[in-house]
Amino acid sequence: MLALKVNEMSICINSIDTPSVLTKTNLPVGDYSANPYIGCTHGCKYCYASFMKRFTNHSEPWGEFLDVKFWPQIEKPQKYNNKDVFLCSVTDPYLPEEKEFRRTRALLQQLQGSEVKLSIQTKSDLVLRDLDIIKSMPNARVGFSINTLDEAFRNDMDKAVSIERRLDAMKILHDEHIRTICFISPIFPGITDVQAIINRVKDQCNLIWLENLNLRGSYKPVILQYIHDRYPQLTGLYDEIYLHGSRMYWELLDESIRNYAKENGMEYVVDDDSMKKPFDAPPVIVNFFYHEEIKKNARNIRAKQSND
């Protein structure tokens, strides 16, 4: 066990052996998910992946521990040809600790030369370090999670790099002709200005994913208390959505973004076919608001593809 200080906070770090870093997934954006780490030192207040803590032996709070995975060399990466691999589903592949442990880079090197359809999702500009490998993978795309342009709000929510650094990295990748994604997630009702973010990124990304804030588990009261303390004028709205189950806000936002997309010559869809679009086409906007319905639709699409 190793303890490091990150942003003045002590992080408990362990190394663990695992038989494989790739696991099958039902995510709508992947056949396989890859997570080179367990835990995430970005420590986002709204992190759905915090449920992972109950499967570890850690007593530390979520965000204050990290298990570094080591796995056998992927001997036949071609077995993943034409498969969608999502990196990552329950951590960030480019945590600050990746500078030292390089497990994400190791995975990319092991998949190099295959025809895997790789999607990388991060909140860090450290991904630029691996530009050499990513450029060699014609089916790769890189996404950045951006749910605000307000650095003060961002700083309240996570310990990742600034929004401007993420936007700068996105532009560099896009200028290198790598497909990029702006993942506007989670959308905080009354706080996240979706149209402002789209206007900011529309010329440097190929795809825009939209995902609403889902509150469950231990972080639900944390976020509701935060709203009560910092945005008291929104308390009624959050109670309506997260205590009484109203969909009205999301339905109205859905309609608003649909109209915005039409007015700006963008496609607005519920499944992701951006890899089929010309690189210079306007970004495709994908709505991921209703998770269970999307998962069911994704399973049906994959079943149809398997039978074709």
The predicted structure's pLDDT at residue 287: 93
- Per-residue model confidence as pLDDT tens digits over 182-208: 999 999 999 999 999 999 999 999 999
Q: Does the pLDDT of residue 298 top 90, yes or no?
A: no
The predicted structure's pLDDT at residue 27: 79
**Full DSSP string of the chain:** -EEEEETTEEEEEEEEE-S-SEEE---TT-SEEE-SEES-TT--TT-GGGGGGGGS---SPTTSEEEEEE----S-GGGGTT-EEEE-SSS-TT-TTHHHH-HHHHHHHHHTTS--EEEEEES-GGGGGGHHHHHT-TT-EEEEE---S-HHHHHHH--S--HHHHHHHHHHHHHTT-EEEEEEEEEPTTT--HHHHHHHHTTS-SEEEEEE----TTHHHHHHHHHHHH-GGGHHHHHHHHTT---HHHHHHHHHHHHHHHHTT--EESS--GGGS-TTSPPEEEE---HHHHHHHHHHHHHHHHH-
Which one is predicted more confidently, 92 or 299?
92
The predicted structure's pLDDT at residue 302: 42
Please provide the average confidence, as pLDDT, over all residues in the chain: 89
Tokens, residue 93: 């592949």
The mean per-residue pLDDT over the stretch 16-45 comes to 92
Q: Does the pLDDT of residue 269 top 50, yes or no?
A: yes
Whether the Cβ atoms of residue 137 and residue 176 lie closer than 8 Å to each other: no
Q: Does the pLDDT of residue 146 top 70, yes or no?
A: yes
To the nearest whole percent, how much of the chain has pLDDT over 90? 77
Q: Does the pLDDT of residue 3 top 70, yes or no?
A: no
The predicted structure's pLDDT at residue 114: 95
The predicted structure's pLDDT at residue 297: 46
Q: How confident is the model at residue 56 (pLDDT cuts 50, 70, 90)?
A: confident
Q: How confident is the model at residue 1 (pLDDT cuts 50, 70, 90)?
A: very low
Which one is predicted more confidently, 2 or 267?
267
Ranking 73-77, 151-155, 234-238, 267-271 by mean pLDDT, the lowest is 267-271
Q: Does the pLDDT of residue 214 top 80, yes or no?
A: yes
Q: How confident is the model at residue 295 (pLDDT cuts 50, 70, 90)?
A: very low
Q: How confident is the model at residue 51 (pLDDT cuts 50, 70, 90)?
A: low
Q: Does the pLDDT of residue 151 top 70, yes or no?
A: yes
**pTM metric for this prediction:** 0.89
Q: Which residues contact 136 (CB under 8 A, 6 or more apart)?
A: 112
The predicted structure's pLDDT at residue 293: 52
